[in-house]
Structure 1
């Protein structure tokens, strides 16, 4: 059942209560994140009892929320399929050169498709949040996304002094977040199969701190419910592992644009950074 079919069922209801309308409005806004939603979280946000949500589901023809959730999104869209499950080795046996050429073609298509589908309004909002000099910026990425987060952080430190790279080790997160405050911004990078640590952090940040910018590769994801902005990047690849190339290009564009709008502070940061490189003899001469 898609959103259109959901509203067709709703249209058949008579005498909708104010609570019914709140439930409908919530489900409309968060339809794509429903596969990852929990009854307790939904009821808390709508401020209703679980039994109230259950009665609404019965009104529209389901046995309960779990029954509704299963019918709403096709399982293959959100089931945590591992790389080896989708890998078909027989389709990938070819010469090294041919394989590399196909890889470059896949990467180019991903970058082009990401740019073509990018929502300009969402992108401008994300840039405004990331570049705001009054806001401390936290960055996290788990698994393969950790490399992208660290790359953004390392270059971002030249540009923005108040930036913190978060550890995906959940035991270390409280140490990094202890100085966080309301109004701060979180940049979270997470690809399917979606890190549970990143998901929990995005939810917490949304509820207790401020805006979140999420870079991910699936429209159906656990973040859209809590994110201020979701930037989607294509990650399709015919090989064993999905591609992170489009996400990397987007990260490069964002951090370079931050440098464009920083102003005088940029020169000061670079001078300090270069003096530290010189002090510790970081690079070969």
Structure 2
């Protein structure tokens, strides 16, 4: 587990001062804990013994071990594909890649779902399915593919859906129509993109609701997100895995289609009629 995941899993067991410290760490994670212990205590407005006590609760021998883990997480956040490949190659698991890769993906799914709060997931689906709120879907250089997948299905499920390419010079145009209460679903994984962060910040300033799909280290966008889903993405490859993110997205699609099923069903029937008229799909009967 990352330190953020450890903190989130133990929030209910922390004292008031420790919870104050936990939220301070998470606000600028993982950089918040890289300075001296006294600086972290001062920023969180707690005592130094509170910091030392919580570090022990998180399973570390002391503050130096806590910082060493944070530095390792920070290094992992910025790894290039070549560096990730070399990391896995140094300790290549035995057995066929089909087995080792699948085991990594299954672990990612298990660990991710353990961190997803059902109430937050339901709240995200309610926002995405609320037809009174325009919906904007945003992906980056790699994540645009999964953003397009969600967009394609949401076009069928509801009206008022816009797909924004965050790498496009035209994305500020989309924000002209954004208003308070609009919903932005944003995908941003490690090697986080500056364009996507700026877009999220500007949407937040307009009062939009932001639902973020990110990795276990969390994109900087999490600081302005209303709901954040942290997905495990590490596999024995130079590339990160989107399998867990796709699982969550397909679950969102399944849940949102039922939010306003009668309307969704009517849209599906109309679309199927269009497919028949255009002969898009072959008919075997």
Q: Could you state the TM-score of these two structures normalised by the residue count of structure 2?
A: 0.72
Segments ≥4 residues shifted beyond 6 Å: none
User: 1:31 maps to which residue?
Assistant: 25
1:171 aligns with 2:151: no
Q: C-alpha separation between the residues in 2 aligned to 1:105 and 1:94?
A: 12
* 2:190 and 2:215 in contact (8 A); partners too: yes
Distance 1:28 1:204, change over 3 A: farther
Pick from 32, 57, 80 the counterpart of residue 82 of structure 1. 80
- Residue 133, structure 1, aligned to residue 127, structure 2: no
CA contact (8 A) 2:184 2:211 kept: yes
In 1, are the aligned partners of 2:189 and 2:218 still within 8 Å (CA)?
no
Using the TM superposition, give the Cα deviation of residue 72 of structure 1 relative to its aligned residue in structure 2, in angstroms.
Answer: 11
Q: Say if 1:199 and 1:223, in contact at 8 Å, map to a contact too.
A: yes
- 1:153 aligns with 151
- For 2:234 and 2:167, how far apart are their aligned partners in 1? 28
Is residue 35–residue 78 contact of structure 1 (8 Å, CA) maintained in 2?
Answer: no
Q: Secondary structure at the match of 2:138?
A: strand
1:118 maps to 2:116:
yes
Runs of 5+ unmatched residues, structure 2 = 8-16, 32-41, 47-66
- Aligned equivalents of 1:72 and 1:30: distance in 2? 19
Please name the residue that 2:64 is paired with.
none
CA change 1:116–1:171 in 2 (3 A) is same
Structure 1 unmatched runs, 5+: 5-10, 12-24, 38-55, 61-70
Q: SS of the counterpart of 1:144? A: coil
Change (3 A) 1:184 1:160: same
Q: Give the structure 2 partner of residue 67 of structure 1.
A: none
Which moved further from structure 2: 118-127 or 210-219?
A: 118-127
2: CA distance between counterparts of 1:195 and 1:227? 16
1:21 aligns to what?
A: none
Tell me, in whole angstroms, the C-alpha distance in 2 between the residues paired with 1:220 and 1:254: 20
In structure 2, relative to structure 1, the CA distance for the partners of 1:207 and 1:31 (3 Å cut) is farther
- Distance in 1 of aligned mates of 2:248 and 2:29: 27
Structure 2 residue aligned with 1:101? 99
Q: CA deviation at 1:272?
A: 2.4
How far apart in 1 are the matches of 2:218 and 2:148?
25
CA distance in 2, matches of 1:102, 1:72: 28
| CA deviation profile, 1:79-101 (whole Å, cap 9, x unmatched) | 42112113233544977xx1112
Provide the rounded CA distance (Å) in 1 between the counterparts of 2:114 and 2:167.
Answer: 35
- Corresponding pairs, count: 237
Q: Given the alignment of the two structures, is residue 255 of structure 1 paired with residue 253 of structure 2, yes or no?
A: yes
Q: Provide the rounded CA distance (Å) in 1 between the counterparts of 2:236 and 2:68.
A: 28
- For residue 259 of structure 2, give the secondary structure of its aligned residue in structure 1: helix
The C-alpha deviation readout for 1:165-199, integer Å capped at 9, x for no partner, is: 11123412123333222210100011112121211
Counterpart selection for 1:198 from 177, 196, 199: 196
Quickly say closer, same or farther: Cα 1:94–1:279, change in 2 above 3 A: farther
Describe the shift of the 1:195–1:73 C-alpha distance in structure 2 as closer, same or farther (beyond 3 A). farther
What's the offset of the Cα at 1:223? 1.7
- 1:229-248 deviations in Å (ceiling 9; x for gaps): 11111112122212110100
